[in-house]
């Protein structure tokens, strides 16, 4: 379980990362004239020991390099519509 300080830092990281991804997707759509890039359906920041996935307002920290991140994103996406 995470401590309160770690959860606050994770929430800030997830918020900032999502804004960065949204900005990049907006620019890509604008410069290419191709639609469908926004809104992004989720994001992954993969690390050697841990990875972080996010969809909507949900964030998941995953231990291990071999975690099935695509499956986790699909689950987060489904849960985000509840």
Q: What is the pLDDT of residues 47-81, one digit of tens each?
A: 888 899 999 888 999 988 788 999 999 999 999 88
Q: What is the pLDDT of residues 16-52, one digit of tens each?
A: 988 898 899 889 989 999 887 776 788 888 888 889 9
The residue segments making up the domain with residue 50 are: 4-79
Sign of CA dihedral 35, 39, 45, 51: negative
Q: What percent of the chain has pLDDT over 70?
A: 98
| Structural tokens at position 22 | 């949204």
Strand order across the 58-63 sheet: 43-46, 50-55, 58-63
Instruction: Tell me how far apart the alpha carbons of residues 18 and 43 are, in angstroms, rounded to a whole number.
Output: 7
């Amino acid at each position: 379980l995470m401590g309160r300080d770690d959860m606050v830092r994770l929430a800030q990281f997830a918020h900032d990362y999502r804004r960065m991804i949204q900005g990049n997707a907006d620019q890509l759509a604008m410069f290419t004239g191709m639609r469908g890039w926004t809104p992004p359906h989720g994001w992954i920041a993969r690390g050697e020991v841990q990875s972080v996935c996010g969809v909507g307002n949900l964030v998941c920290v995953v231990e291990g390099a071999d975690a099935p991140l695509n499956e986790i994103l699909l689950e987060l996406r489904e849960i985000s519509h509840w």
